[in-house]
Amino acid sequence: MPPIAAQLRMALGRRSAGVLTSRSARDVGMSAAAPAACSARAATSQPTPGATAQSAEATVKTASPRRKPRR
């Protein structure tokens, strides 16, 4: 029995521009392996003792007089 190729040409597809594209059995049935997870990076700076996170509430803008009033 002769060896069979791992990727057999199945059909010739057409794109909208009329250009022929080839498809193989691998294109349809197989997918690439998932990417590897990222490794954790070391902290670039250390938090200051006693430091607090930013307030979740937005600060209210106070009204200030115009610098150049209209004449």
pLDDT digits (tens, 9 = 90+) for 2-58: 666 566 555 555 555 555 555 555 555 566 777 887 888 887 777 777 777 777 777
The C-alpha atoms of residue 59 and residue 9 are separated, in whole angstroms, by 65
Q: What stretches of the chain show up as alpha helix (H) in DSSP?
A: 25-29
Q: What are phi and psi of 26, to 5 degrees?
A: -65, -40
The C-alpha atoms of residue 66 and residue 50 are separated, in whole angstroms, by 39
Q: Express each pLDDT in 42-59 by its tens digit.
A: 877 777 777 777 777 777
Rg for the chain (alpha carbons), in Å?
32
Q: Is 0.85 surpassed by the pTM of this model? A: no
Domain ranges of the chain: 1-30
